[in-house]
Amino acid sequence: MIVNKEYALSLDKEDPISHFREEFYVSDEIIYLDGNSLGLLSKRSEKAVLTLLDSWKKYAIDGWTEGNNPWFYLSEEMGKQFASLVGATDKELIATGSTTTNLHQLLATFYKPKGNKTKILADELNFPSDIYAIKSHLQLHGLSPEDHLVTVKSRDGHTLRTEDIISQMTDEIALIILPSVLYRSGQILDMSAITTAAHERDIVIGFDLCHSIGSVPHDLSNWKVDFAFWCTYKHLNGGPGSVGGIYVNEKHLGKEPGLSGWFSSAKDKQFDLEYELTPALTAGAYQIGTPHILSLAPLIGSLEIFNEARIETIRKKSLQLTDYLIRLIEAELTEYTFEITTPKEAHARGGHIYLTHQNAASICKALKSNGVIPDFRNPNGIRLAPVALYNTFEEVWKTVQILKRIMEEEQYKKYDNTRGVIA
């Protein structure tokens, strides 16, 4: 039954948030399954950008305090819009920077090697940029990454076990940085259990939410996570280079940030222009320079959509979409040596599916030539992300039928099995 198009159409008919698809610029000629790399543009985000441009045109310098979205307060206002997505209070949140610059800020603030506690714990499956930043801070402290960066090993090359992470929390670990969702396999880590174990050992812990925010609910404050950081151009549809976000647990607020700048200041003191910083008593203290207003603008529209659709409803549909994709792959593609490395249990699965195949790069090229946009990950991975706000069950069905035809007709053999400049 599931392999029939009519079944997919029946699921679309029952979808309570299907109307949000109309909010996005969706092509009728393309099935876009790369929203976990770059989300589609929404009409509300487009309008927000034009509105902010108009405020620049209309108010000039007075745009910092005038108009519907005064620029001076925009980072804080956008930070508040993350609250329902990450489970935090307004004061614990700020929209600022990018993923890696925010991680640099948080490392500068929270990595305090002392005595025997000098090492940072990460994992061998994390996105490389996080590892680059961690190594930078170890070196700035005069410490060798080879000796002071501890990485949790994967037993299967795709996933991590909670017990393996906890077993590495020795007396030498000063700080832990982990992803909430692994960018390849899509596994969700048990952030609550891992945070509890870290705190029992007096270790500060932070999470990279890039591949979970906007597709998976969080409860950071109740989990007592020390800090988190994320981008906004994937599931949050903020656009290329859109401003990222930071969460800092309220118990840490009021401390001077590791990297200070004039937007680290308390708002009422900033234009006193004193040489002694009075840091904001909120996560706003973790800002550094002037906000990137035009890169913040799309978030005004996109986060409005999320607050209307509600993350719990988005998560429910996301799981239905990825479950349907898994079931179709298992029903239609068993003879073609694809391996699904994403956990099949709902509680352990994020918003995308990861397939491995020895011809993954050429298969991705064939999919694109057939109007399906996937994401290739070196050396042999295919990521498919049906996004709840704008993808349909029919598109999932069509994708598997196209993939089946590509394999049956060996279309992929027309393409080199190597990645492009941008995979």
pLDDT tens track for 49-85: 999 999 999 999 999 999 999 999 999 999 999 999 9
Q: Is residue 168 domain-resident?
A: yes
Q: At what angle do helices 128-140 and 99-110 cross, to 10 degrees?
A: 40
Q: What CATH number did the domain enclosing 371 receive?
A: 3.90.1150.10
Are 401 and 384 in the same domain? yes
Is residue 61 domain-shared with residue 162, that is, in the same domain?
Answer: yes
Is the pTM value of this prediction over 0.95? yes
Contact criterion met (CB below 8 Å) for 390 and 26: yes
Q: Is 89 annotated as a binding residue?
A: no
- Give the type of residue at 266: A
DSSP assignment, residue 39?
P
Same structural domain, 231 and 261: yes
DSSP three-state, residue 121: strand
Q: How many residues does the chain have?
A: 423
Mean pLDDT calculated for residue range 133-159: 98
| Residue 203 pLDDT greater than 90, yes or no | yes
Residue 349 CA to residue 333 CA, distance in Å, equals: 21
306 known ligand binder: no
Q: What does the alpha-carbon distance between residue 259 and residue 105 come to, in Å, rounded to a whole number?
A: 6
Residue 267 gets which letter from DSSP? Answer: H
386 labeled binding residue: no
For residues 216 and 331, membership in a common domain is answered with: no
3-state helix, strand, coil in the chain (%, to 5): 45, 15, 40
Shared-domain flag, residues 250 and 225: yes
Residue finishing a domain among 250, 279, 308: 308
Say whether 230 counts as a known binding-site residue.
no
State which of 275, 308, 341 marks the end of a domain: 308
- Integer angstrom CA distances of residue 351 from 27, 55, 119, 395: 21, 36, 32, 16
The whole-number pLDDT of residue 101 equals: 98
The reply to whether 147 sits in an annotated binding site is no
| Confidence band of 223 (pLDDT split at 50, 70, 90) | very high
Residue 386 has pLDDT above 90, yes or no: yes
Residue that finishes a domain, picked among 308, 335, 357? 308
309-360: pLDDT as tens digits: 999 999 999 999 999 999 999 999 999 999 999 999 999 999 999 999 999 9
**What pLDDT digit, counting tens, does each position of 79-124 carry?**
999 999 999 999 999 999 999 999 999 999 999 999 999 999 999 9
Are 54 and 135 part of one and the same domain? yes
Task: Look at residue 103 in the predicted model and tell me its pLDDT.
Answer: 98
What percent of the chain clears pLDDT 70, i.e. is strictly above it? 100
Question: In this model, does residue 423 exceed pLDDT 80?
Answer: no
Q: Among all chains, which residue has been given the structure tokens 């309220």?
A: 250
Q: What CATH number does residue 99 fall under?
A: 3.40.640.10
Cα(169)–Cα(119) distance, integer angstroms: 10
Q: Do residues 397 and 275 both lie within one domain?
A: no
419 pLDDT higher than 90: no
Residues 139 and 156 in one domain: yes
Taking the C-alpha atoms of residue 259 and residue 101, their distance in angstroms, rounded to an integer, is: 10
Q: Which of 211, 237, 388, 396 is nearest to 317 (CA)?
A: 388
Q: Count of CB atoms within 10 A of residue 406's CB?
A: 21
The answer, yes or no, to whether residue 407 has pLDDT greater than 80, is yes
Is 130 labelled a binding residue?
A: yes
What average pLDDT does this structure show over 154-175?
98
State residue 190 phi and psi, 5-degree precision. Answer: -80, 85
pLDDT of residue 255: 87
216, part of any domain: yes
Q: Tell me the C-alpha distance between 302 and 47, whole Å.
A: 10
Instruction: Classify residue 131: in a domain, yes or no.
Output: yes
What is the per-residue burial (b if ≥16 Cβ within 10 Å, else e) of 270-291? beeeeeebebbebbbbbbbeeb
- Same domain membership, residue 22 and residue 77: no
Q: Is 54 annotated as ligand-binding? A: no
Structure confidence at residue 141 (pLDDT)? 98
Which among 207, 206, 212 has a CA at the least distance from the CA of 232?
Answer: 212
233 is in an annotated binding site: yes
Q: Tokens 């910092």 map to which residue?
A: 64
Does 290 count as an annotated binding residue? yes
CA dist., res. 356 & res. 359, Å (int): 9
Give the domain range for residue 164.
Answer: 47-308
Whether 220 and 77 map to the same domain: the answer is: yes
pLDDT digits (tens, 9 = 90+) for 243-300: 999 999 999 999 889 999 999 999 999 999 999 999 999 999 999 999 999 999 999 9
Q: Considering the domain boundaries, does residue 41 fall inside one?
A: no
φ/ψ of 210, rounded to 5, equals: -55, -40
Average of per-residue pLDDT values in the chain = 97
Of 3-7, 222-226, 384-388, 407-411, the poorest mean pLDDT is in 3-7
Residue at 210 is within a domain: yes
Query: Is 219 assigned to a binding site?
Result: no
Average pLDDT in the 380-400 region? 98
Instruction: State whether 253 and 390 are in the same domain.
Output: no
Check whether 211 is labelled as a binding-site residue.
yes
Asked if 293 and 316 sit in the same domain, the reply is no
Angle value at C-alpha 157, between 354 and 122, nearest 5 degrees: 105
Is 38 inside a domain boundary? no
User: How many domains are contained in the chain?
Assistant: 2
d(CA 149, CA 162): 19
Residue 1: pLDDT band with limits 50, 70, 90: confident
Does residue 120 form part of some domain?
yes
What is the pLDDT at residue 402?
98
Answer yes or no: is 191 within a domain: yes
